[in-house]
Amino acid sequence: MPMPDYSLFGDEHVRQYEATGGKIGHDWNNTSCLVLHTIGRKSGETKKFPLIYGREGNNYLIVASKGGAPDHPGWYKNLLAHPDVKIQVWDKVIPVRARTATAEEKKRVWPIMTAQWPDYDNYQAGTKRDIPVVMLTPR
C-alpha cells in the first residue's frame, strides 16, 4: 500500500483547494475532502479546515476524530458554538447547518465514514472519547 501523501495539509491544503476549485485537494489519499468554514468561538473569525467527508442523502458527514486524541478538535467546538457555517465542495460554497449525529444516526453513518477513511475505527478504539460524527445539512 502506498504511503499517504501529506504534502497537502492544513492551510496549504485549503489554499490549493480554493485556488483550483477543488481540482487539487478534493481527491486526497484515496478519499474526498471538503473545506469547512467555521466561526471561531473565541476569535469570531472565519477559520477553514480541510476534512474528509462522506454523504448520506442530502447530508455531508464529517468526523471529529483529531486522530483519536482525548479531546475534540477546535473546529468541532466552533460548530457547537456556531452551527450555521459553510462548506466548499469542489468549486461550490454551500451554506449548511451542523449538528452532531445521535447515537442511532452514528451507528448508521459510521460505516460510510470508515469506507472513506478506515483509520477512523483505530482512532475510536484508541480513545475513551466517543468520536462525534457531524451531519452538515444544506440550508
Contacts of 131 (CB under 8 A, 6+ apart): 63, 64, 65, 68, 120, 123, 124
Above 80 in pLDDT, residue 2? no
What is d(CA 55, CA 63) in angstroms, rounded to the nearest whole number? 12
Residue 134 has what pLDDT? 98
Residue 98 has what pLDDT? 98
Section 95-104 average pLDDT: 98
Above 60 in pLDDT, residue 120? yes
Above 90 in pLDDT, residue 4? no
Mean of per-residue pLDDT scores for the chain: 95
The fold adopted by the segment(s) 10-138 is: Pnp Oxidase; Chain A (2.30.110)
